[in-house]
Amino acid sequence: MNQTVNIALQILPSSKTIHPYALVDKAIEVIAASELRYRVTPFETVMEGRYDDIMKVVKMAQEACYAAGAESLMTYIKIQSSLNDVSIEDKMEKYE
């Protein structure tokens, strides 16, 4: 897949001692540092880029949550791909 895709990532971390939001923040830090285009929403973060590049970031985001103290993760991924490039703006521009 060489086209630009959108991948929505939701990580739901669990810890007996750390609030989930603090752990999610660690995942978002990884995404922000990745240089991918992204948008944080209340339930998930949508990333835009090449499939393989995004999936590497997904793995790193999960690892960051564990490194920050998560005991388990539920990770949900949604992928939009096309024969042509897909952009976040294609879906959002009429709402902004």
Tell how far CA 88 is from the center of its chain. Answer: 13
pLDDT digits (tens, 9 = 90+) for 18-57: 999 999 999 999 999 999 999 999 999 999 999 999 999 9
Residues 80, 41: Cα–Cα separation, whole Å: 17
Q: Which two tokens stand for residue 33?
A: 């540092």
Q: In this structure, what CATH number is given to the domain that contains residue 47?
A: 3.30.70.930
Starting at the edge strand that comes first in sequence, how are the strands of the sheet with 72-80 ordered? 37-40, 45-50, 4-14, 72-80
Q: What range defines the domain where residue 77 resides?
A: 4-82
Q: Which two tokens stand for residue 19?
A: 């609030």
Q: How many domains does the chain have?
A: 1
Task: Give alpha helix (H) positions in the chain.
Answer: 20-33, 51-67, 88-92
Residue 95: CB atoms within 10 Å = 5
Query: Considering the entire predicted model, what is its pTM?
Result: 0.91
Q: Is residue 51 part of a domain?
A: yes
Q: Is residue 96 part of a domain?
A: no
Q: Is residue 92 part of a domain?
A: no
Q: Is residue 89 part of a domain?
A: no
pLDDT digits (tens, 9 = 90+) for 60-69: 999 999 999 9
pLDDT digits (tens, 9 = 90+) for 68-92: 999 999 999 999 999 988 888 888 7
Q: Is residue 93 part of a domain?
A: no
Residues 19, 41: Cα–Cα separation, whole Å: 18
